[in-house]
Amino acid sequence: MMFSRAPGFAAGLTAAVSLIALQTSPALAFDPSGNEIADAFLTLLDSEEGTVESYGSVDASGNTVTISDLLITNEDEKDAKVTIASTVLTGGDIQANGRLKLENLTLEKLELAAEDGGMTLETVSVSALVLPSADEAKSKDTPIGPGYESFEASSIQIRDEDGKVADIEKVSSSIDSMDGDLPTSGQFSITGAMIDVKQIEAEEARSLTDLGYETLSIDVSGSGKWDPDAATVEVPGLNINAKDAASLTISFSLGGVTRDVVTGLNEASDNSEETMALLQNITIANAKVRLDDESLTGRILDQEAQKAGVEVPVYVSQLTGALPVMLGVLQNKELEAQVNEAVTEFLTTPGSLEIAASPAAPVPVAQIMGTVMFAPQMIPQILSVGITANQ
């Protein structure tokens, strides 16, 4: 929803993106402009929580419609409002099913203000956008979100009531291929997210401050491909890079992801039991998690060694000396040796640490869940888990 109050900068981004996919109410608060494309778009913005309070003008030139000075308010939160200096709708077409199709949507100087902070975006651009019809947007049984080819937002500033939380250079995503109404491949990135650690109200943030971080510069990217005929999903890399701290890369391959499973997961998004039942049809072919240290591990070891009143080499020796006892729960001598060697090397000379699951055959999620419940120590063997350091 437009005025979601969920915490954190991710919630702010969600609020911005959802600006183009709101529920509609039967009675319109705004005066229709007479331009069918502009009015169809304004109708979607005019929701129960958000109301199109006013707009400056609607100008049409060729296949381009420009709405100036949009103001959207919320009657339940008097201090909450969204202003958009310019909204440009290009190549608009109202389809037979009532959906609004746009070649491009561009928003300039968007500002979301609320009692607990706000967010500004310099520009938002969405290509090949298809917005749901009014009836689809109102439906709670089969919610339909907007479809698009590419999305980009730039120069994002996120604030809370105490000041700056984060600045983000750019957020972008694309849907590269489709199977009917279902995306089959895509990618996304968040570039240049500068987070003020002191403004994050969480225990983790205080820990980061203690480690010497006043700000964190983070880049996030990822891509994925779903082959509905082969029922496979490939995620070659979900990358999170915190500069001067560490980077994390996650990749995996899944099987059993049929069209029915994907459709079912979409329809059961609010039903955890149905979701879990559908997930049990999926198999894990392989998975990998890699951590590359840039200084975070050294900072943690320095801090913990100081608390223990010893030098870092002594503290590391104490940790690694206790590993054999802790690893006994694995009940797998070969893996115990791998973990002991890799963790000892990583703590002694922080570089990289990689955990990989490479089973000989795909393992059903149902089998994994059952093993976790009744024999968790067998998980590394079932998934053929291995671990390496500094490679």
DSSP 243-307: TTTEEEEEEEEEE---HHHHHHHHHTTT-HHHHHHHHTT-EEEEEEEEEEESSHHHHHHHHHHHH
The closest of 191, 91, 109 to 149, measured between CA atoms, is 91
pLDDT band with cut points at 50, 70 and 90 for residue 139: low
- Exposed/middle/buried for residue 91 (C-beta within 10 Å: 0-12, 13-18, 19+): middle
The closest of 97, 99, 104, 27 to 66, measured between CA atoms, is 104
For residue 148, the tally of other CB atoms under 10 A from its CB is 20
Say which residue, 297 or 273, is predicted with more confidence: 297
Say which residue, 45 or 382, is predicted with more confidence: 382
CA-based max dimension of the chain? 77
Please give the pLDDT value at position 12.
40
H/E run at residue 374: helix 365-374
Say which residue, 281 or 355, is predicted with more confidence: 355
* Same domain for 177 and 116: yes
* Distance (Å, whole) CA 105 – CA 124: 8
Please give the pLDDT value at position 143.
53
| Model confidence at 173: pLDDT above 50 | yes
pTM of the model: 0.83
Please give the pLDDT value at position 22.
37
* Same domain for 100 and 14: yes
| Model confidence at 229: pLDDT above 60 | yes
Beta strands per DSSP E along 37-80: 51-54, 57-61, 64-73
CB-CB contact of 121 with 168 (8 Å): no
Do the domain assignments include residue 260?
A: no
* Distance (Å, whole) CA 237 – CA 335: 25
Do the domain assignments include residue 269?
A: no
* Same domain for 126 and 221: yes
Please give the pLDDT value at position 47.
62
Between 69-73, 84-88, 287-291, the lowest mean confidence (pLDDT) is in 69-73
Domain-terminating residue out of 255, 283, 318: 255
Going by DSSP bridges, is the β-strand pair 163-179/150-160 parallel, antiparallel, or unpaired?
Answer: antiparallel
Domain-terminating residue out of 204, 228, 255: 255
The closest of 204, 110, 120 to 167, measured between CA atoms, is 120
* Same domain for 163 and 89: yes
Q: What is the mean pLDDT of residues 314-342?
A: 91
> Could you tell me the two tokens for 163?
């000041």
| Model confidence at 320: pLDDT above 80 | yes
Please give the pLDDT value at position 21.
38
Indicate the residue type of 197. V
- CA dist list (Å): 185 to 40, 46, 175, 190: 29, 32, 6, 18
* Same domain for 303 and 251: no
* Distance (Å, whole) CA 87 – CA 19: 12
* Same domain for 196 and 47: yes
Q: What mean pLDDT, rounded, does the chain reach?
A: 86
* Distance (Å, whole) CA 28 – CA 35: 15
How many distinct structural domains can be found in the chain? 2
Domain-terminating residue out of 255, 276, 311: 255
Q: Domain range spanning residue 197?
A: 9-255
Please give the pLDDT value at position 29.
60
Q: What is the mean pLDDT of residues 86-102?
A: 93
What three-state secondary structure class fits 134? helix
Please give the pLDDT value at position 363.
95
pLDDT band with cut points at 50, 70 and 90 for residue 18: very low
Dihedral sign for Cα atoms in the order 270, 273, 277, 282: positive
* Same domain for 175 and 124: yes
Query: What DSSP assignment string belongs to 71-107?
Result: EEE-TT-TT-EEEEEEEEEES-EE-TTS-EEEEEEEE
pLDDT tens profile 187-202: 999 999 998 887 776 6
* Distance (Å, whole) CA 372 – CA 390: 29
* Same domain for 320 and 230: no
* Same domain for 248 and 312: no
Please give the pLDDT value at position 328.
86
What three-state secondary structure class fits 179? strand
| Model confidence at 168: pLDDT above 90 | yes
Say which residue, 316 or 79, is predicted with more confidence: 316
Say which residue, 95 or 146, is predicted with more confidence: 95
* Distance (Å, whole) CA 43 – CA 96: 17
Do the domain assignments include residue 136?
A: yes
CB-CB contact of 154 with 172 (8 Å): no
Please give the pLDDT value at position 14.
39
Please give the pLDDT value at position 140.
61
Q: What is the mean pLDDT of residues 202-229?
A: 88
| Model confidence at 273: pLDDT above 50 | yes
